[in-house]
Amino acid sequence: MKNDLLIKDARLFHPDCDLIVDLHIEDGVIRAIGTGLRHAKLPLLCADGRTLLPAFVDLHTHFRDPGYPHKEDITTGSRAAAGGGYTAVSVMANTDPVCDHPEVAEYMHRRAEEAGLVEVYPVGAISRGLLGEKLSDMEGLAPYVWAYSDDGIGVEDDALMLRACQKAASLDRVVIPHCEYADIADKGLAERLMVARDLLLARHTGCRLHVAHVSTAETVEMIVQAREGGRGLTCEVTPHHLCLDRAEADYTVNPPIADRSTRDSLVQSLAEGRIDVIATDHAPHTAADKERGAPGISGIETAFPLLYTRLVKTGLLPLADLVRYMSTHPARIMGLNKGELRVGDDGDVVLIEEDGAFTVNEGTFLSMGSNSPLIGMPLQGKIWATVHKGELIYIDGKVKGRDFDDHRQAV
């Protein structure tokens, strides 16, 4: 029963038509999409014409657990993800201890299970302690992780990165490089230089590569050209690099927010289908750490409304494409049975109030981090409800758990 739900009267988002439909989820799986569906025994959620989308999948999130639970633990991170319309998140390895051995990944799985909200998929570190010197226990980590990354720091040692790509290829896991040479002041050059090396290594080893948070269209172009051989080369961009420019938001984040023309060219690359995924790089920090210069934005809750307001409402990107970048492609890259509204897929959906206008408010973040340059910004495309495998995990500002106001009604 927990994983059964009948959603009534949702607006089926589709590029070619505008339909009001019902969606039937049973045992956590989509069983039917149609009109006039009835099921006497199923719990009911009345969508009242809100827009139905496949729930979002985030390939790049930072929960700070273990190590920094005062910034975000796995429960608060999961709550924030649910509030942002996400049902699956891939969490980076820069915890303390670093996720460079199986016990840390096992701990993350256990804590996510206890939180019982969204699916949390750990990423293992490439190097031990993220020090860029010795490989992590990649083999021991393999059963618990889908990818390896030293995100936050570029792996500068070429021989180490070569061995990491060889190992990942043999274990059939993805490598997610954070492309940056720390000592090169020109950050665009530092990114392209490391991307060039990693594309070469991917070709040489046959390893699947997903480049984290690209920040210029030139970088995208390099990846697109390398992709022509048809191998598994993908890349992501963040909502803040697509929607903000330095003049509007001079906010510390890594890679840095660029000027308007760079941002515009990233949007163009995305609109032309050259970028595969939008990933949040959700990076919660305390106010004190931000003051000390910690890079990052707590962005998982604002990702969709920001992108919807700035790209869809302005006509720069159709909603159908946004869904591909936030749901379909990331689910495909991770090999999840989600990301589309298809019979037989996981019953993971999000209901949106497309005209739901709100102002980003520091006091209403579900994440422990409210470090965001968007505070005070008016946005549209409010997340109304999130459903994970047929279970309502978020509705109207409330997350499943204490004080959860269940909107399901008996038929």
Residues designated catalytic = 281
Minimal distance, residue 303 CB to ligand DOR, in Å: 14
191 binds ligand DOR (CB under 6 A): no
Candidates 279, 296, 327; CA nearest to 94 is: 296
> Can you tell me which of 5, 145, 233, 253 binds ligand DOR, judged by CB under 6 A?
253
Q: For residues 306-335, b (16+ Cβ closer than 10 Å) or e, as one string?
A: bbbbbbbbeebbebebbbbbbbbbbbbbbe
Q: Which two tokens stand for residue 249?
A: 């938001």
Judged by CB under 6 A, the number of residues near ligand DOR is: 11
Minimal distance, residue 253 CB to ligand DOR, in Å: 4
Asked if residue 276 lies in contact with residue 224, where contact means CB atoms within 8 angstroms, the answer is no
99 binds ligand DOR (CB under 6 A): no
Minimal distance, residue 85 CB to ligand DOR, in Å: 21
Across the chain, which distance is largest between two alpha carbons, in Å?
65
Helix (H) or strand (E) holding 398: strand 398-399
Q: Which is nearer to ligand DOR, 51 or 254 (CB)?
A: 254
* Alpha-carbon span 11 to 33, nearest angstrom: 12
Helix (H, G, I), strand (E, B) or coil at 218: helix
256 binds ligand DOR (CB under 6 A): no
Question: Which residues ranging from 138 to 157 are in contact with ligand DOR (CB under 6 A)?
Answer: 151-152
Minimal distance, residue 82 CB to ligand DOR, in Å: 21
Asked if residue 209 lies in contact with residue 202, where contact means CB atoms within 8 angstroms, the answer is yes
Q: Which residue is nearest to ligand DOR (CB)?
A: 296
Angle in degrees, CA 104, 113, 94, rounded to 5: 30
94 binds ligand DOR (CB under 6 A): yes
Number of H helices, E strands in the chain: 12, 19
Q: Which is nearer to ligand DOR, 12 or 279 (CB)?
A: 279
Amino acid at 228: E
178 binds ligand DOR (CB under 6 A): yes
Minimal distance, residue 180 CB to ligand DOR, in Å: 8
296 binds ligand DOR (CB under 6 A): yes
DSSP annotation of 308: I
Q: Which is nearer to ligand DOR, 214 or 383 (CB)?
A: 214
254 binds ligand DOR (CB under 6 A): yes
Minimal distance, residue 366 CB to ligand DOR, in Å: 18
Tell me the per-residue interface mask from 17 to 56 with ligand DOR, x by CB under 6 A, - otherwise. ----------------------------------------
Q: Which is nearer to ligand DOR, 269 or 298 (CB)?
A: 298
Minimal distance, residue 78 CB to ligand DOR, in Å: 18
Long-range contacts of 313-316 (CB under 8 A, 24+ apart): 313/380, 313/381, 316/267, 316/271
Angle in degrees, CA 278, 280, 286, rounded to 5: 170
Instruction: Tell me the HSE value of 137 on the side-chain side, using a 13 A CA sphere.
Output: 12
> Can you tell me which of 132, 188, 295, 356 binds ligand DOR, judged by CB under 6 A?
295
Q: Which is nearer to ligand DOR, 279 or 393 (CB)?
A: 279
Candidates 219, 239, 223; CA nearest to 231 is: 223
Asked if residue 42 lies in contact with residue 347, where contact means CB atoms within 8 angstroms, the answer is no
Q: Which two tokens stand for residue 380?
A: 């549209």
Q: Which is nearer to ligand DOR, 84 or 296 (CB)?
A: 296
> Can you tell me which of 24, 50, 62, 167 binds ligand DOR, judged by CB under 6 A?
62
Q: Which is nearer to ligand DOR, 180 or 345 (CB)?
A: 180
* Alpha-carbon span 387 to 389, nearest angstrom: 6
Q: Which is nearer to ligand DOR, 152 or 330 (CB)?
A: 152
> Can you tell me which of 23, 283, 334, 360 binds ligand DOR, judged by CB under 6 A?
283
Minimal distance, residue 347 CB to ligand DOR, in Å: 32
The binding site for ligand DOR (CB under 6 A) comprises: 62, 94, 151-152, 178, 253-254, 281, 283, 295-296
